[in-house]
């Protein structure tokens, strides 16, 4: 089974994916962003755009995930924002055509909620302190610029199942996905502080500067 976790940038995809992986033995995370940023780095800076526009990325994602789903016995988890209908069909749709059990979920939240999460993730607070109250990492600025488009597109029926997360914690969102996918997660026995520290670590590991 493949769990594709969609949503706006800063919407909680990566944190939710790691929460599920932590509590679901045998599961793995396969992040298509790794391939995307690798392809971007191959290009001269003036040619670097959205890596999803590269057919090689879309085809490569399907090829690699097809291999992982065929050879790996556990659940494969993919945290990836896809808002373009055509690209969605070329990735999620194609994997389904290949016979794989793909469960797609879109994490949604109000605009104010997502912006708050973007400001808090990773080194957000430190950067605001060092660079000034209204400053922040470039990728977060880019994510805010894309936010309205993401929320509008991902709210469409084709991107269901929709899960609203404004008043849900990451562990609770992971629980909801597991129930809908027919999976059983190990109990979440972490305290609030340990959960927060682990989520900060996940956020730091996924900070990108390109």
Look at residue 122 and tell me whether its pLDDT is greater than 60: no
Better-predicted residue by pLDDT, 143 or 60 = 60
Look at residue 191 and tell me whether its pLDDT is greater than 90: no
pTM: 0.85
Q: For residue 7, which of 143, 201, 187 has the smallest C-alpha distance? A: 143
Cis peptide preceding 15, ω within 30 of 0: no
Match domain 2-205 to its CATH number in 3.40.50.300, 3.55.40.20, 3.40.50.10330, 3.60.40.10: 3.40.50.300
pLDDT tier at 134 (50, 70, 90 boundaries)?
A: very low
Question: DSSP labels for 169-204?
Answer: -HHHHHHHHHHHHT--PPP----HHHHHHHHHHHHH
Query: CA torsion, points 44, 47, 49, 53, in degrees to nearest 10?
Result: -110
- Residue range 45-90, pLDDT digits in tens: 999 999 999 999 999 999 999 999 999 999 999 999 999 999 999 9
* Segments making up each domain of the chain, as ranges: 2-205
Residue 147 and residue 114 in contact, taking contact as beta carbons nearer than 8 Å: yes
């Amino acid at each position: 089974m493949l769990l594709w976790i969609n949503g706006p940038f800063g919407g909680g995809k990566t944190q939710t994916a790691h929460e599920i992986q932590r509590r679901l033995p045998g599961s793995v995370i396969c992040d298509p962003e790794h391939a995307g940023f690798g392809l971007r780095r191959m290009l001269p800076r003036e040619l670097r755009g959205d890596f999803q526009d590269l057919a090689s990325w879309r085809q490569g994602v399907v090829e690699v995930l097809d291999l992982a789903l065929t050879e790996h016995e556990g659940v494969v988890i993919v945290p990836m924002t896809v808002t373009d209908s055509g690209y969605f069909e070329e990735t999620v749709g194609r994997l389904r055509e290949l016979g794989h059990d793909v469960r797609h979920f879109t994490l949604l939240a109000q605009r104010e909620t997502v912006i708050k999460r973007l400001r808090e993730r990773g080194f957000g607070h430190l950067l605001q302190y060092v660079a000034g109250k209204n400053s922040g990492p470039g990728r977060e600025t880019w994510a805010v610029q894309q936010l309205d488009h993401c929320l509008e597109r991902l709210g469409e029926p084709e991107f269901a199942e929709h899960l609203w997360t404004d008043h849900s914690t990451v562990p609770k969102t992971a629980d909801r996905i597991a129930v809908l996918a027919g999976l059983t997660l190990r109990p979440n026995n972490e305290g609030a502080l340990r959960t927060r520290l682990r989520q900060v670590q996940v956020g730091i590991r996924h900070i990108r500067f390109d």
